[in-house]
Amino acid sequence: MLQLFYLGGKIMCIFCKIINKEIPSYTIYENDFVTCFLDISQATKGHTLIVPKKHVQDIFSLEKKEAEEIMKAAVVVANVLKEKLGTKDINLLNNSGQLAGQTVMHFHLHVLPRYENDEIDFHQVDHEPNFLELDKLYSCLLYTSDAADDLI
């Protein structure tokens, strides 16, 4: 796991350093809210990370404006990849938390172009639907729209 450190009372990490241009990156797009750079280990050709400029750890720490800007940037990057590389198939992926595989503790969205016979496999095991469990989950998770909006 990559380490966090403090500078002037602010949390800094390797992505903060990239955002602040203290270390080099292949930044392909940025604005006031996000920096988008090529992942150093290209899982597939064009693999890009979208990172909020403010250091936030994971999806639970994202504020509404950042969440909006990240999704907008994902659309921009997807279209750049489409125009420049001919990408037609893309996965968007965020790993939040250790069990989910997060290794850099600064929120980032992976934009992952997909190609015929690439080695990525997100295939989920098919289960028979268990409607009793689904009913229980649904009752547990259902929010009124207003209450859900207050969560971000």
Q: Rounded CA gap, 52 and 34, in Å?
A: 4
CA 66 from chain centre, in angstroms, equals: 12
Contact between 103 and ligand AMP (CB under 6 A)?
yes
Cβ-based neighbour number of residue 113 at 10 Å: 24
The DSSP output letter for 99 is G
Task: Give the shortest CB-56-to-Zn ion separation in angstroms.
Answer: 8
Q: Rounded CA gap, 119 and 83, in Å?
A: 23
Size of the site for ligand AMP (CB under 6 A): 12
Site residues for Zn ion, 45-104, by CB under 5 A, read: 55
Contact between 40 and ligand AMP (CB under 6 A)?
yes
Contact between 41 and ligand AMP (CB under 6 A)?
yes
Applying CB under 6 A, the residues found at the interface with ligand AMP are 14, 25, 37, 39-41, 49, 95, 101-104
